[in-house]
Structure 1
C-alpha cells in the first residue's frame, strides 16, 4: 500500500491500525505537508459501512474531539476515508502505564468522554462501540483532547422511541464493554453508550473487569459467559473498594428507559464532585504525562 496516491493528493505511508471495516494508514497531504489518517475498505465488500462512517463524521463535525474529515470516495479497488491523524488510543496509553490508571486520570477521562458522548447523542447518533481503542488523544497542541473515532457501527436515534433506528447492519460492539441490552440483542439507546463507558472506566481504575480471561472453546461461548457474569454480578461487588460514585453511575445508566434522555449534567457533576473532594486539579496532567516527563528527565540526567 505504501506510496499509493489517493485523490491525487494524499500519499499512503505506513499502516497504523485496523478500525471497524477497514485498515488504517498514516499518510501525507502532499499539498499542505500535513500528516493524515487514511482508512481503506475494499470496494468488493460494499461501500455501506465506510460511507455511513464518513456521513456520520460530517454530521458530527465541529464538535470538540471529533476528527476532521478531508475526503471520502473510491480509489482503485478501495473506498477511502481521509481524516485528521490522531495520537495514541487510551488502550495504548493504558498498556504504557502498566495497565492501571490513577483515580485522577480516570476522572479526567470520564469528564471528556461524557462530553463526547453527549455531543454524539445531541446530533442524533449512537456510537454503539464505546471502548478504549475508540478514544484517541490529539497531537501537538491538541494532545490533551480526547477524540472519539470509528463510527462504522453508529446508528441514528429514533426521535420518538429513543433507540437506534434499525437498518440492515447487524448489532455489534465489543463483548467486554457491551451493555446488557446489547447482550440480549435489543436495539440500543443512549443509555447503552453510557453503560459501555462505565465498564471502560471500571476497567481503567481496577486494571481489569471480572468477566475478562474466561476460558471457552468458541467466541460465542465466551460472549455468553461474559453476558452471564455481567448480568449476575452485584453492582456493589463490581465497584467494590471504589468510591460510591462509580456504583451510582452504573445504577443510573442501567435503569434509564430507552426513550429517556440521560441527565449528562448529573453524570458530569457526579464525577466532578468526587474530583474536587479528592483535591485533584484540572491541570490536564494524566498518568502518561507524568511518566513521559520522568522518562525524559531520566534520559537527560543520564546524558549529562
Structure 2
C-alpha cells in the first residue's frame, strides 16, 4: 500500500482482524482521517461476504469514542422502517490501539452520483425522490432524539444490488442527542461556538502553519476562515516524518472525503442558526436538508457554491428568503412547492415538531409539476451499477 493507504493504527491489506464472532481480512483502504479509517474487508471463512470496517484510534486526549455514538444510533434506528436508511451493524470490537465497527457496504454517495450527471444535477424525479428518502432518514433520527448536524450529499449513499433504490444516511461523528433523561427536548444553550478539531503540533509546525494561513489570507483576501484552515490531519507521523496538510472546510465529494475542521457540518449546508452560533434542533437538520435538495435537484445548484467566506454565505442564504429566491430556483416549474417548503421550515422554532408529511407531499407534487414522478427509476438505475463503497470515516472535536 502507498503512504496514503497506510493508517496510523497500522492496518494494511491482508491484515486479519478477529473478533469473538468472526475474522475479517482487510482488502483495501477506502478512506481515512485524523482519528481512523474505513476499510473494505471480507469474512475469512466466506470471502463472498464483503463489508465495510470503520476503525477509530484510541487516544487519551479523547473523552468519548465517536464509534460509540454511531453504534448507539444504528442500533436504535436501523429497524425503524422496512427499508431502513441506516446501515446494518455486522460486528464490533476493540484492539489494543483501536476500536472497530463492521457494517454493511453501501454504494456511491449522492455527491459522487450527481457529479457524473449532465450539469452535475439529478433529474427532478430522482432529486425529489431521493430528497424524500434523505428527509425520512432525518425523521427517523429525530424520533429517537438525535440530530445529525452534518447533512450534505456526501453523507448519503445508495445501496447495492436489490437495495440500489434505498438511500442511506452516513457519518454520525457530530450527531448530538437532544432529548434529556425524561425524553424531553433539552433546554437550548445560549451560545454554541463553532468548534475546530485540535491536534498536537510542535513549535516548528505551529510556525509553519501560521505562515501558511497568512499566505492563504493574502492570496484569497479572506481573513474570516482562519479557524477553519487547519485540521487534525495537518500533523501526522508518516514513516518517521511529519507531514503538513492545508485544508479548508469545503464540501466533500465522496463517502471517504473527510473535512475534520468543521463548523458543525459543512458551511455550504449549515443552517442559519449554525451560522449565528445558536443551538441547533430538528428544524436545523431540515434546513440543511433543504440546501441539500437544492444541490441535487435544481439545475443551478446552491447559488453560494463558489463562496468560501462563511459570513458571505450567510448573507446569500438570507437573501434566498427574499430577493434571490427566484434566481435560486431558476427556470423550475415547481417554485411554488419548493418555496412553501422553505417557508415552512423557516417558520419552525427550536421546540417545534416537524410536519414531515407536509414536506413529503410538497416534494411529491413538485415532481408532478415538473412532469415526473418520485417512483420513476433513479438516474443511477438507468446507467452504470454503483461501485461498492462504505460510510464515511470522520472525526471531530465538537459535541457531534
After superposing the two structures, state which structure 1 stretch, 81-90 or 165-174, moved more.
165-174
Distance of aligned partners of 1:274 and 1:59 in 2 relative to their CA distance in 1, 3 Å threshold:
same
- Decide whether aligned partners of structure 1 residues 240 and 25 sit closer, same or farther in structure 2, where only a CA change above 3 A counts: same
User: 8 Å contact 1:163–1:188 — kept in the other structure?
Assistant: no
CA deviation vs aligned residue, 1:62-102 (integer Å, no higher than 9, x gap): 13111011223322422212111111000110111141211
Deviation at 1:278, TM superposition (A): 4.0
RMSD, matched Cα: 2.6
Q: In structure 1, the residue corresponding to 2:383 is in which secondary structure? A: helix
CA, structure 1 residues 208+280, in 2 after alignment: closer, same or farther (shift >3 Å)? closer
Deviation (angstroms), 1:105? 1.1
2:275 is the counterpart of 1:183: yes
Structure 2 partner of 1:224: 311
Q: Distance in 2 between matches of 1:2 and 1:267?
A: 45
- In the TM superposition, what is the alpha-carbon distance from 1:291 to its structure 2 partner? 3.2
The size of the alignment, in residue pairs, is 287
Q: Partners in 1 of 2:167 and 2:142 — Cα distance?
A: 17
Residues 300, 328 of structure 2: 8 Å contact kept = no
- CA shift for structure 1 position 285: 1.1
Q: Deviations over 1:127-163 (max 9, x none)?
A: 1111101111111111110011111111112344467
**TM-score with structure 2 setting the length:** 0.66
Equivalent-residue separation in structure 2 for 1:277 and 1:210 (angstroms):
23
Distance 2:52 2:366 in 1: 37
Q: What secondary structure sits across from 1:206 in the alignment?
A: coil
Greater helix share, structure number:
1
Q: CA deviation at 1:174?
A: 0.9
3-state SS, counterpart of residue 292 of structure 1: coil
Which residue does the alignment assign to 2:295? Answer: 203
State how far apart, in whole Å, the 2-side matches of 1:266 and 1:108 are. Answer: 15
Deviations, residues 37-72 of structure 1 (Å, cap 9, x unaligned): 111121126352222122221221213111011223
Give structure 1 stretches of 5+ with no counterpart.
216-221, 294-304
Name the SS of the counterpart of 2:121 in structure 1: coil
- 1:113 paired with 2:98, answer no
Sort the Cα spacing of 1:282 and 1:202 in 2 relative to 1 into closer, same or farther, 3 A: closer
| TM-score, normalised by the number of residues in structure 1 | 0.85
Question: C-alpha separation between the residues in 1 aligned to 2:187 and 2:164?
Answer: 33
With over 3 angstroms needed to count, the CA separation of the structure-2 counterparts of 1:20 and 1:144, relative to structure 1, is farther
CA distance 1:126–1:76, shift in 2 (3 Å): same
Distance of aligned partners of 1:62 and 1:94 in 2 relative to their CA distance in 1, 3 Å threshold: same
Task: Give the Cα separation in 2 of the matches to 1:16 and 1:164.
Answer: 37
Task: Tell me, yes or no, if structure 1 residue 15 matches structure 2 residue 32.
Answer: no
**Aligned counterpart for 1:252 among listed residues 340, 344, 354:** 344
- Describe the SS at the equivalent of 1:176: helix
Cα displacement (A) at 1:225: 2.3
- Aligned partner of residue 15 in structure 1, secondary structure: strand
Question: How do residues 1-304 of structure 1 correspond to structure 2 at under 5 angstroms?
Answer: 1-8=12-19, 9-18=23-32, 22-33=36-47, 34-44=49-59, 46=62, 47-63=64-80, 64-98=84-118, 99-158=120-179, 159-161=183-185, 170=195, 172-204=264-296, 205-214=298-307, 222-233=309-320, 234=322, 235-242=325-332, 243=334, 244-292=336-384
Higher mean C-alpha deviation, range 176-185 or range 204-213: 204-213
Contiguous gaps of at least 5 residues in structure 2: 1-11, 196-262, 386-400
> For residues 370 and 30 of structure 2, what CA distance do their matches in structure 1 show?
38
Range with bigger deviation, 263-272 or 278-287: 278-287
Query: Cα 1:262–1:88, aligned 2, differ >3 Å: closer, same or farther?
Result: same
